[in-house]
A and B are shown apart, each in its own frame.
Chain A
Amino acid sequence: SAVISQKPSRDICQRGTSLTIQCQVDSQVTMMFWYRQQPGQSLTLIATANQGSEATYESGFVIDKFPISRPNLTFSTLTVSNMSPEDSSIYLCSGGRGLADTQYFGPGTRLTVL
């Protein structure tokens, strides 16, 4: 299994500001993903973080709003830009080692936007 950490664990932000969430994996993983979990909801995939290239976004998510970086195989960041209260969610990163390998999740970042 992989051990995944995220920072910060939670934050309260003002609307119009941006927050960058960091995700660190303890071993090299091939695939890294970012998910959003809105209050009381299930997880929705935001994007696949690709090493050294632009992330692949799912329908309904755009790079201007959720820029993602992945400079190496063990680290990725997600920025939530120009935040509004609707962005209040838990953001989780996950990693897996192969095309169909099991994904392991970080502990999540609980974001509240006022």
Chain B
Amino acid sequence: AQTVTQSQPEMSVQEAETVTLSCTYDTSESDYYLFWYKQPPSRQMILVIRQEAYKQQNATENRFSVNFQKAAKSFSLKISDSQLGDAAMYFCAYSPAGTASKLTFGTGTRLQVTL
């Protein structure tokens, strides 16, 4: 079974600074997808960024980028120029390719953004 591990229960960053959230996963599949979702207090799950395992290039979305290390099974999220609105729970998730897009989530990292 696939597992997703987020070893940082809480992180804190000052506004305008950069923070990196860690995620590792375990799978025997060669093709899969990785995601970062954000869950603010409103509890709405919001997609932050997505990475296809077959792509070597790291995904980027504005201030959000990932460091995808397939051999190490590592998928970290970097948030640049942090803003107060970035404060939320961040979940790393895995989905094997070729199945019904079922997501396996990590335990989450709570990000605080301070002034």
Contact = CB atoms under 8 A, between A and B. Distances in A.
Interface of A: 1, 31, 33, 35, 37, 41-45, 48, 56, 90, 92, 94, 96, 98-105, 107-108, 110
B101 A101 contact: yes
Nearest to B103: A103
A102 B45 CA distance: 12
Interface size class on chain B is: 20 to 34
Contact of B100 (A37, A99, A108): A99
Nearest to B98: A99
B102 A42 contact: no
Interface in B24-71: 33, 35, 37, 42-47, 50
Main DSSP-derived SS at the B contact region: loop
Given A42-B91, A100-B33, A102-B50, A90 B103 contact: no
Query: Which of B44, B101, B108: most chain A CB closer than 10 A?
Result: B101
Main DSSP-derived SS at the A contact region: strand
B47 A48 contact: no
Interface string B80-115: 000000000001000101111111111110000000
Contact of A103 (B97, B99, B101, B107): B101
B102 A33 contact: yes
Interface of B: 33, 35, 37, 42-47, 50, 91, 95, 97-108
Contacts of A90: 43
B102 A107 contact: no
Contact of A105 (B33, B45, B100, B107): B45
A32 to B, nearest CB: 10
A37 B19 CA distance: 26
Nearest to B45: A105
Given A42-B106, A42-B107, A104 B47 contact: yes
A45 B103 contact: yes
